[in-house]
Chain A
Amino acid sequence: MSESTPILTLSQVSIGFPGELPLLTGIDFEAYAGEVIGLVGVSGIGKTTFLRTLAGQVPLMAGDVEIFGFDDIRSAPRGSIGYIPQRLGLVHHRTVGYNVLMGALPRASRWQTLLALPSSEMRQATRAAVAAVDLEDKILEPISQLSGGQQRRVAVARSLVQCPRLLLADECLGELDITTSEVVAEQLIHLAHEQGACVILVDHSPVRLKVLCDRVFELRQGTIREDEPDHLRLPMA
């Protein structure tokens, strides 16, 4: 499943906001293609900031990074990083189809982007991704008219169309009913195991991560450590 060369390597990295004390320090972390990695930790520990840093939205405070052979996250090839923030980052005044199609923008040519003319491959990929998350009947509905769970499925479908090499998903399984949760999880695992992407999944539930992920890391006391899934503290019964 995992290749020998990591797609992402962090060496002695510190993470936090400029001008503030770092949230996480001394991070050594490797991620490989084709694996699902879980990140768990209490609220406010820095899970979201960790993902935003890997998405290139927060600068590194210290340390070295290597991603797809580049030493700067922002130098990563276009479309290689996918990000599903906790609030999903959907365009609320547009339809499901529009939002899912946005995942294809990184591979659109200049003319296609300029004239807003997606190729038939992009339209087909959009329809397939919408079908994969069971939202075919909602494809023309605006996002604002969908439930929270349906919106999450749209965000996942956008990532399916994008087909990134590294997908960063922030609590995209939280607050979902069991059926929806299964649909979303199935797609994320498919993306990793079948299409060779690395999926880094932040979640509050160690139990869920234990089931879904190949490796689970815990953020605790300002740093990150890999835990055997069995060692994770399970919630009180």
Chain B
Amino acid sequence: MANSMGDILHLLRKRPRLVVMAGLAILAVLTAEHLQISGPSLSRGWENLLIILSEAWPPDFSVLTNRASWANPACNFESDMLCSPAFIGLVQTLEIAFLATLFGALISLPLATMAAHNLSPLWLSTATRNLLAGLRVLPSLIWALLFVIVVGIGPLAGVLAMTLYTIGYLGKLQYEALEGVGKHPLEVARAMGLSRPVVARYFAIPEASNALISQILFMFEYNVRHGSVVGLVGAGGIGWYMQYYIAPFKLYDRVLALLIVLYFTVVIIDFISLRIRHRFIESEEIRKPRWRDVFLPQK
């Protein structure tokens, strides 16, 4: 017995990876048990999923042709297609993402210069970083819930929610890019006696401009994807139309059609953004992006 225990301990010492994997497995089981995740509840979920899938298939693409008379805000075009839930929802999602990215970038850039250690005194950068972290604490969905309560159902709540989240998220990316700027241009500017805001505006931001533009485009992509999520709580966009079909009517075939439309839109935007961002990436060795790069990670 003592011998076999010794063998096990010897094996564990020789294979530390085995110990880590066993530890993780035990932790996973204990966590699932604490959350009361059980086999029966999983199988029940599976059954429900099959029911939803059977009701969703085939997708009902009338969402692209039928007029949404209940649209919010109301659609005044004569063409039914231009006033269809898919079209209105998609355009609203893109508009929300555009405005949130624009306002977010305009506000986050000055904040990022204040948060960058190489451009601001320690007290200011620490305070600004805490503010940006605070904005990131709540996901855009929770911000949307708050703004739906404050300004009511509609795209305004979505724009406000996603602008706040954009400031927090983009601000962090931007101050990291600004801190990556070489010290030499900044030293030249400081030796001239220029003030911190002037050093940031004329030396640091232009030097980091490629990274900053690339991050703004990435944020737009991100906001288009999340624009559909905030709609689920009433903050406008295609998500609001999905929620309209799910909650009272359970029209999963129309929801699936909207999801397919959204999927292709996101893929197209990802590709366009990838192509534009490629122009701003400095390394000459990076090849031109292709369609498959949207789906697969780049080497």
Q: Are B194 and A91 in contact (CB under 8 A)?
A: no
Q: Are A85 and B209 in contact (CB under 8 A)?
A: no
Query: What is the bound-complex CA distance between A59 and B192, given in angstroms?
Result: 16
Q: Is the interface of B mostly helix, strand, loop or mixed?
A: helix
Q: Which of B127-173 contact A (CB under 8 A)?
A: none
Query: What is the bound-complex CA distance between A91 and B184, given in angstroms?
Result: 9
Q: Can you list, as one digit per residue, whether each of B161-194 has a CB less than 8 Å from chain A (1) or not (0)? A: 0000000000000000000001011111111111
How many residues in B have their beta carbons less than 8 Å from beta carbons of A? 19
Which single member of B189, B192, B207 contacts A92 (CB below 8 Å)? B207
Residues of B within 8 A of A87 (CB): 182, 184
Residues of B within 8 A of A162 (CB): 192
Q: Are A91 and B203 in contact (CB under 8 A)?
A: yes
Residues of A within 8 A of B184 (CB): 85, 87-89
Stretch binding the partner chain, chosen from A76-84, A202-210, A223-231: A76-84
B30 adjacent to chain A (CB < 8 Å): no
Query: What is the bound-complex CA distance between A158 and B209, given in angstroms?
Result: 21
Q: How many Å from the CB of B284 to the closest CB on chain A?
A: 10
Q: Is the interface of A mostly helix, strand, loop or mixed?
A: loop
Residue in B187, B190, B193, B206 with the greatest tally of chain A CB atoms within 10 Å = B193
Query: What is the bound-complex CA distance between A88 and B187, given in angstroms?
Result: 10
Q: Which of A70-115 contact B (CB under 8 A)?
A: 76-85, 87-94, 98, 102-103, 105-106, 113
Q: Which of A172-187 contact B (CB under 8 A)?
A: none
Residues of B within 8 A of A88 (CB): 184
Residues of A within 8 A of B209 (CB): 93
B66 adjacent to chain A (CB < 8 Å): no
Q: Are A91 and B191 in contact (CB under 8 A)?
A: no
Q: Can you list, as one digit per residue, whether each of B201-242 has a CB less than 8 Å from chain A (1) or not (0)? A: 011001101100000000000000000000000000000000
A215 adjacent to chain B (CB < 8 Å): no
A127 adjacent to chain B (CB < 8 Å): no
Q: Are B187 and A93 in contact (CB under 8 A)?
A: no
Q: Are B193 and A89 in contact (CB under 8 A)?
A: no
Query: What is the bound-complex CA distance between A162 and B193, given in angstroms?
Result: 11
A56 adjacent to chain B (CB < 8 Å): yes
Q: Are B187 and A91 in contact (CB under 8 A)?
A: no
B198 adjacent to chain A (CB < 8 Å): yes
Which single member of B182, B190, B192 contacts A79 (CB below 8 Å)? B192
Residues of A within 8 A of B190 (CB): 55-57
Q: Are B193 and A79 in contact (CB under 8 A)?
A: yes
Q: Are A57 and B187 in contact (CB under 8 A)?
A: yes
Which single member of A55, A76, A78, A84 contacts B194 (CB below 8 Å)? A78
Residues of B within 8 A of A57 (CB): 187, 190-191
Query: What is the bound-complex CA distance between A89 and B199, given in angstroms?
Result: 12
Which residue in chain B gives the minimum CB-CB distance to A168? Answer: B191
Residues of B within 8 A of A79 (CB): 192-193
Q: How many Å from the CB of A200 to the closest CB on chain B?
A: 12
Contact status of A85 and B188, CB under 8 A, knowing A105-B198, A105-B202: yes
Q: How many Å from the CB of A76 to the closest CB on chain B?
A: 7
A52 adjacent to chain B (CB < 8 Å): yes
Q: How many Å from the CB of B144 to the closest CB on chain A?
A: 36
Query: What is the bound-complex CA distance between A91 and B209, given in angstroms?
Result: 10
Q: Are A83 and B187 in contact (CB under 8 A)?
A: yes
Contact status of A89 and B187, CB under 8 A, knowing A78-B192, A81-B192, A105-B198: yes
Residues of A within 8 A of B186 (CB): 89
Q: Are B206 and A93 in contact (CB under 8 A)?
A: yes
Which single member of B182, B185, B191 contacts A55 (CB below 8 Å)? B191
Which residue in chain B gives the minimum CB-CB distance to A56? Answer: B191
Q: Are A85 and B192 in contact (CB under 8 A)?
A: no
Q: Are A55 and B187 in contact (CB under 8 A)?
A: yes
Query: What is the bound-complex CA distance between A168 and B290, given in angstroms?
Result: 48
Which single member of B182, B188, B198 contacts A83 (CB below 8 Å)? B188
Query: What is the bound-complex CA distance between A103 and B203, given in angstroms?
Result: 12
Query: What is the bound-complex CA distance between A145 and B121, given in angstroms?
Result: 34
Q: Are A52 and B192 in contact (CB under 8 A)?
A: no
Query: What is the bound-complex CA distance between A56 and B202, given in angstroms?
Result: 20
Residues of A within 8 A of B187 (CB): 52, 55, 57, 83, 85, 89
Which residue in chain B gives the minimum CB-CB distance to A93? Answer: B209
Query: What is the bound-complex CA distance between A26 and B202, given in angstroms?
Result: 38
Q: How many Å from the CB of A167 to the closest CB on chain B?
A: 10
Query: What is the bound-complex CA distance between A130 and B210, given in angstroms?
Result: 26
Residues of B within 8 A of A106 (CB): 192-194
Q: Could you list 21 examples of A-B contacts with CB < 8 Å? A: A55-B190, A57-B191, A79-B192, A82-B191, A83-B187, A83-B191, A84-B188, A85-B184, A87-B184, A89-B184, A89-B189, A91-B185, A93-B206, A98-B206, A102-B202, A102-B203, A105-B194, A106-B193, A113-B198, A162-B192, A164-B192
Cβ-closest 7 pairs across A and B: A89-B188, A89-B184, A78-B193, A83-B191, A55-B191, A89-B185, A85-B184
Which B residues lie at the A interface, using CB under 8 A?
Answer: 182, 184-194, 198, 202-203, 206-207, 209-210
